[in-house]
Amino acid sequence: MSAELREQIAVGCRILAGAAQGDYVWGHLSARDPDGAGTWMKAAGYGFEEITADRTVLVDRDGRVLDGTERRHAEYPIHTEIMARRPDVNAVVHTHSRAAVALAATGRALEPVSHEGTFFTPPDVPRFTATGDLILTRELGARLAECLGDRPAVLMVNHGVAVAAKDIPTAVVATLLLDAACDMQLRVLAAGGAAHRSSDAEALSKREHCYGDALIDDAWRYLVRRLGTG
């Protein structure tokens, strides 16, 4: 079963690469081991587009590599601590999305000015401000997980994003949606700010209509087909 999961991590990483979510070899995607053995993660030292099933590692909450032959990322606590706090979360993405970092630095809210924003707001996306430095300890990972709370994503101010979901397809698609939503908001701000935005009620309705489980699954299948692997 872990072989299937490792392959899905690899596919997810290559989709993230294709959507320009990579930052050289930084950024990661993880999934909870189905047998509770730990967290499978993209290995360190490779770009998203270079990830294969063999370039994933199983890590525990102390960062020990339990399986796999590659190195783990230093920021593994982002993944292990979010999964420890959120039993509903089976997949986590961390990227340095340029649009998200730029928007978070402005201190402005993410507004539902397009479809994508409605996946995340209302209420506004939480902001992690305890540090803009790397998440290298369990304690910092736990603080990030606390900031995320029960939400699908958190903006790590001056650093990146963490996106949490029930499975890899949802986590990957949500990461692309967050990047697009932040990019759209930056365009709106550059044009002088929003004169029109969805009300909370409309945004919540759009969330259901645009991004229900079946539609997220359709988007994932499309992204996999576009990779040429499905």
> What are the structure tokens assigned to 63, written together?
């960062």
CB 147 within 8 A of CB 155: no
Only segment of 39-47, 120-128, 144-152, 156-164 that touches Zn ion (CB under 5 A): 156-164
Q: Which is nearer to Zn ion, 152 or 160 (CB)?
A: 160
Only segment of 8-16, 57-65, 99-107, 157-165 that touches Zn ion (CB under 5 A): 157-165
Residue 104 gets the label, from left (phi > 0), alpha (psi -120 to 50) or beta, of alpha
Measured from the Cβ of residue 226, the count of other Cβ atoms closer than 10 Å reads 12
CB 31 within 8 A of CB 5: yes
Q: How far is the CB of 24 from Zn ion (least distance, A)?
A: 11
Alpha carbon distance 199, 146 (integer Å): 28
Q: How many residues bind Zn ion (CB under 5 A)?
A: 1
Q: Which is nearer to Zn ion, 156 or 216 (CB)?
A: 156
Alpha carbon distance 170, 212 (integer Å): 10
Q: How far is the CB of 179 from Zn ion (least distance, A)?
A: 15
Q: Which is nearer to Zn ion, 22 or 160 (CB)?
A: 160
By CB under 5 A, what part of segment 17-36 binds Zn ion?
none
Q: How far is the CB of 132 from Zn ion (least distance, A)?
A: 10
Measured from the Cβ of residue 44, the count of other Cβ atoms closer than 10 Å reads 17
**Closest CB to Zn ion belongs to which residue?**
160
Only segment of 52-60, 99-107, 154-162, 203-211 that touches Zn ion (CB under 5 A): 154-162
Q: How far is the CB of 149 from Zn ion (least distance, A)?
A: 20
By CB under 5 A, what part of segment 158-197 binds Zn ion?
160
Measured from the Cβ of residue 187, the count of other Cβ atoms closer than 10 Å reads 12
Alpha carbon distance 186, 102 (integer Å): 8
Residues in the site for Zn ion, rule: CB under 5 A?
A: 160
